[in-house]
Copies of this chain bind each other. A is one copy, B any other.
């Protein structure tokens, strides 16, 4: 069984600690964080350390901290030649201090507080400096997910960029939908089946095939009525730009 230390106490660290504990196929030997916070609710006090000197030996050290902190945290580790990975979609593998063997263990998913994740189908995107380390990461990844990919740095950054569009920006579309419902005294709930169906549809159709609405139909009358209804200049600009973009893509 692989011995793992999780470093960090944020959202991703907490989700990883939970899923490793649940898997029963990983020996989660320790969590390290300057301020363990919520992690105290997940692990016994004896498995948590707040000082780098007391980090114990493991097969894989997973740094799950914000991108800007990866370099600093990795340079605090008081050992060398061990496998140390980060979980970031956008930070280069080289952010990790080069005294250790470096890698990436990037779960391509959106993690929120208070929302459990089923890791079994979360794509885990792996990178390493050597084939043996890659095999270790694959072994670890397969204990929690059925969806494991070897992804180089450039591809990983592309995935992270794509994720911003399909997740962060999509959620912002939900947020605008919510605003529009509120203004008309309608419950946001009424939009939820449509939101789910829009997401489910691309499991069987390409996004290109799935596109519907006034933009792709070039229904100028409806487009103009919608623009008139949007009092907010920012929302008008978004509507116009995305309408044009849909039309350009489908020339």
Interface residues of A (CB under 8 A from B): 66-68, 90, 108-112, 114-115, 117, 121-123, 125, 147, 149, 151, 154-155, 157-178, 180-181, 183-186, 188, 190-217, 219, 221-222, 225-226, 229-230, 234, 237-239, 241-242, 244-246, 248-249
Shortest distance from the beta carbon of A177 to any chain B beta carbon, whole Å: 4
**Smallest CB gap from A116: residue in B:** B204
From DSSP, what is the main secondary structure of chain A's interface residues? helix
B180→A165 contact, CB < 8 A: yes
A206: chain B residues at CB < 8 Å are 178, 188
CB neighbours (8 Å) of A180 from chain B are 158, 161-162, 165
User: When the two chains form their complex, are residues A121 and B229 in contact, meaning their CB atoms are under 8 A apart?
Assistant: no
In the complex, what distance in Å separates the CA atom of A111 from the CA atom of B248?
Answer: 22
List 17 A–B pairs whose Cβ atoms lie within 8 Å, in order of A's numbering: A114-B204, A115-B205, A125-B190, A159-B181, A159-B186, A162-B177, A163-B177, A164-B239, A165-B180, A171-B210, A172-B211, A172-B242, A172-B249, A175-B211, A178-B206, A178-B207, A192-B203
- Given known pairs A155-B185, A171-B210, A225-B90, the reply for A166 and B194 (CB within 8 Å) is yes
Q: Which residues of B contact A211 (CB under 8 A)?
A: 168, 171-172, 175
Choice from B109, B112, B166, B214 contacting A177 with Cβ under 8 Å: B166
**A193 CA to B146 CA, complexed, in Å:** 12
With A184-B155, A202-B174 as contacts: A213 and B164 at CB distance below 8 Å: yes
Given A178-B206, A210-B171, A222-B90, A198 and B165 contact (CB-CB distance below 8 Å): no
Residue of B nearest to A183 (CB): B158
Q: What chain B residues lie within 8 Å of A244 (beta carbons)?
A: 234
Q: A159-B181, A246-B168 are in contact. Are A115 and B204 (CB under 8 A)?
A: yes
Known contacts A177-B165, A207-B175; is-contact A170 B155 (Cβ 8 Å): no
The residue in chain B whose Cβ has the minimal distance to the Cβ of A215 is B168
Do B241 and A241 have beta carbons less than 8 Å apart? Answer: yes
Known contacts A159-B190, A196-B199, A202-B192: does B212 contact A167 (CB below 8 Å)? yes
